[in-house]
Amino acid sequence: MDLSLRNSKRLVHLDLKGAPPRIGYLLELIQVFADLGATGLLIEYEDMFPYEGDLKVIQCKAQPPYSRKEIMSIQEAASSRGLEIIPLVQTFGHLEFVLKHEVFRKLREVDYCLGTLNPHCDQGVKLVQEMLRQVMELHPKSTSLHIGADEVYMLGLGEESKQWLSAPGHNDHQLFLRHVIKVAKGIRKKVPKLNLIMWDDMLRSMTPKIIKESGLVGLVQPMLWDYSPVLDVDNTVMRMELYKSAGMSQQWVASSFKGSTTVHTCVTSTQRHVDNHVQWLKVASGLSAGIELQGIALTGWQRYDHLSVLCELMPVSLPSLASCLQTLLHGGFTEEAQKKVYDKLGTVEVEDTERLPSRMSSSFVGAKLAELIVKLTSMLESAEVRNFQNSMFVRGWFTPYHKQKKIISPLIAQQIKTQAERIIDGVDIMVQEVRKEMRLLYSDYTAQEWLDQHVTPVLEPLQILLKDIESVLNDVGFCTTSVS
């Protein structure tokens, strides 16, 4: 059994840039995370942080951000269970929540990319420095901070960057590193003993020599992320060894327990994410003694970025999280690990919640919502719903030609109408149940957003078809029209 991940830190990532839980539910979740084996939280507040002053504009408008008092209560709840908190604040890429605002538009690297900061603008550096300052001021006991810096799209394509890159000896690597180093030194100046972490993907194409000579070593610890169930163990070990040879011996890794399957996934696959953690265990066991593995962050993405749809909500992902944490603790998804998950949650796979005895259906916080989402998703993904417009009757008797010419068989049109109404009514009943349960754990806005993103696109074509059927039936008065 590999002990390097079992004995290191296990951080549960809270991605609050979508579906932020009501504070009461969030405090309950923190207790659950501790019960499941977490040792800390990696919290990405994004626009749910109560920024003040000139930064108040980036606060979420759709729903109130967490108050200062609520953020303190989050820390108190975590502290009561021995969980450390590491805030995550993006400082280069994925700044859509900031740069989408007109007042900060001029700080974009290129105008059409809302996520990437112009690394040449002093005002941009001051902006992220102030964000970091406000977040850390409200987290006085946190000893570590994650500064993001992943997926810096369009870097080097801005006019100022092009001009800078045209100078002899300048390249994209240096352009990236000089900004990160500037940000890191700025926050270190204010909080000298703060441990800084960054995502590693922008470093992957750099040689150890480039990293070592940049001045990054000693400032930031890399966090290597890979969420694939077939993660390449040998290549990942090699990459970690390269970082070590550059002088970065203290490293983190990041897995995923939800939010990395597809951009629109609603129901979490436990096995997929367990497989990812099994691969990370293999990576950890293959590392040389010189690498000081600090811990693993189990990421739970709520959106792929600030502008994308919501993916799996926390209730449907808790069995996956529990299984992943227990996999780390037991060195694999063993029978004992599965038993621990079942003992704590009453299920190992979220799809099984609807088949559990009633006494077990509420065995973990949010289980009822998880059950309802599984049922609703199953309805929406059924062949009957997805293929309704391609059914024999619609394709055969109600094509655009039939609608335009009002050539219709009332008998078959009525049959199509009845089937569409049955499907829509059935989904509507389930939607009302989901909405009612979701509003207990999330804001009304989040409930409506989830339904608009995941239900409306499926039902809308049926509703349009139903409206067309009713219109044509009314127009023809149940009279057939000759084709000849």
**What is the predicted pLDDT for the residue at 359?**
42
Q: Which residue, 384, 388, 385, 376, is CA-closest to 351?
A: 376
Decide: 196 and 157 in contact? Cβ < 8 Å: no
**What is the predicted pLDDT for the residue at 3?**
54
Alpha carbon distance 122, 378 (integer Å): 51
Per-residue pLDDT 10s for the chain (484 aa) are 455 677 789 999 999 999 999 999 999 999 999 999 999 999 999 999 999 999 999 999 999 999 999 999 999 999 999 999 999 999 999 999 999 999 999 999 999 999 999 999 999 999 999 999 999 999 999 999 999 999 999 999 999 999 999 999 899 999 999 999 999 999 999 999 999 999 999 999 999 999 999 999 999 999 999 999 999 999 999 999 999 999 999 999 999 999 999 999 999 999 999 999 999 999 999 999 999 999 999 999 999 999 999 999 999 999 999 999 999 999 999 999 999 999 999 888 876 655 544 444 447 889 999 999 999 999 999 988 888 777 777 777 888 888 787 788 888 888 888 888 999 999 999 999 999 999 999 999 999 999 999 999 999 988 988 888 888 788 765 544 444 4
Q: Is residue 160 annotated as part of the catalytic site, yes or no?
A: no
Q: What angle do CA 79, 83, 89 make, to 5 degrees?
A: 100
**Angle in degrees, 0-180, between the axes of helices 335-345 and 314-330, rounded to the nearest 10:** 140
Residue 261 main-chain phi, psi, to 5 deg: -90, -65
Q: What is the DSSP string of 178-227?
A: HHHHHHHHHHHHHSTT-EEEEESGGGTTS-HHHHHHHT-TTTEEEEEE--
The domain 9-358 having CATH identifier 3.20.20.80: the answer here is: yes
Q: Are strands 250-258 and 40-44 parallel, antiparallel or unpaired?
A: unpaired
Decide: 326 and 337 in contact? Cβ < 8 Å: yes
Q: Supply the DSSP symbol for 446.
A: H
Decide: 350 and 270 in contact? Cβ < 8 Å: yes
Tokens for 143? 């000893």
SS percent in the chain: helix, strand, coil, step 5: 55, 10, 35
Handedness of CA 245, 249, 255, 260 (dihedral sign): negative
Tokens for 328? 């780390």
With tokens 């400032």, the residue in question is: 219
* Catalytic site residue from 28, 151, 349, 421: 151
**What is the predicted pLDDT for the residue at 154?**
96
Alpha carbon distance 328, 76 (integer Å): 26
